[in-house]
Structure 1
Amino acid sequence: MTMKTPSGAALLKPETLLTHERGGGARTTPLVSRDLGTTSFITGYTSFDPGVEIPFHSHNCQESVVLMEGDAILDIDGLEYQLKPHDVTFIPPNVNHRFRNLSKTNPMKILWIYATPEATRTLTATGQTNPVSAEHGKH
């Protein structure tokens, strides 16, 4: 459920929002998007099943990620960084990275923020680029 105020502000209840399967044990719930009128950023949650890792990729804009639940590894610059809940990352544009759920038994959840509604994801292995919003059924 999304409630809009007279000024255009919004209150979102994530448990009532549509979640999209990304495949491979990852699911995304868009939060702030163009639908709310944003012109400068988008946000959402991605949940990872136990042991899931997403492929190496990069974005055309700055990204910040907050680990909300679980234990994660950030692979970036050829190094591994262990993350605990509430750790925050900043990733510049065009930097290859990925997140992995360190646990084999518990889920992991991140809050992501992209610095533009036109954010793209380029898969490192294939070079394929798609809008992040394509994962949400919206382009």
Structure 2
Amino acid sequence: MIGTNESRKAVVLRPSDLPRHDRGGGASTTPLVGPSCGASAFINGITSFGPGTEIPFHSHNCEESVMLLEGDAMLDIEGQESLRLQPLDTTWLPPNLSHRFRNLSNTQAMKILWIYARIDATRTLTESGQTNFVSAEHNKK
């Protein structure tokens, strides 16, 4: 328990015990911290990319930080190849910046830890303008 507030408790989350959500195209996400465990200011999770997988360009309504946990990745910004990442490299992205992550390996998986600065974070696809709450994507079957 944290402090004197009886309703707030610390939580340990084990990704191997949590559901993974297929994002299509070789990417899957495991949501971690969020409102369901008591978070009120941010959400985070892990996204795995199969060999050669890239996600579409998109932006968010809040700041985002991403750490490359494993693999060989490229961060593309505003439609341009930008930064090659090594494991444990950590990014900070401002709101409304179009970006994507790509797995540069055709044989090995890649994995990122992402953190959004709002529990109501959205993802807007650059090409179509379609916007969804990140949390709603995790409830799709």
TM-score (norm 2): 0.92
CA displacement 1:14-62 (0-9 Å, x = unmatched): 1010000000100000000110111100000000000000000000000
Identity between Structure 1 and Structure 2 (%): 61
Aligned to 1:58: 59
User: Does structure 1 retain, via aligned residues, the 8 Å contact 2:74–2:84?
Assistant: yes
Q: In structure 2, what is the Cα distance between the partners aligned to 1:23 and 1:79?
A: 22
Higher strand share: 1
Aligned to 2:92: 90
* Letter of the structure 1 residue corresponding to residue 84 of structure 2: Q
Residues 1:122 and 2:105 are matched in the alignment = no
Q: In structure 2, what is the Cα distance between the partners aligned to 1:125 and 1:13?
A: 35
Q: Give the Å deviation of 1:135.
A: 1.6
Q: Which runs of 4+ in 1 moved over 3 A?
A: 4-7
Q: In structure 2, what is the Cα distance between the partners aligned to 1:86 and 1:108?
A: 12
Task: Give unpaired runs (5+ residues) of structure 1.
Answer: none
- 1:27 is paired with a residue whose SS is strand
* Letter of the structure 2 residue corresponding to residue 126 of structure 1: S
TM-score (norm 1): 0.93
Alpha-carbon RMSD across the aligned residues, in angstroms, is 1.5
* Letter of the structure 1 residue corresponding to residue 128 of structure 2: T
Aligned to 2:68: 67
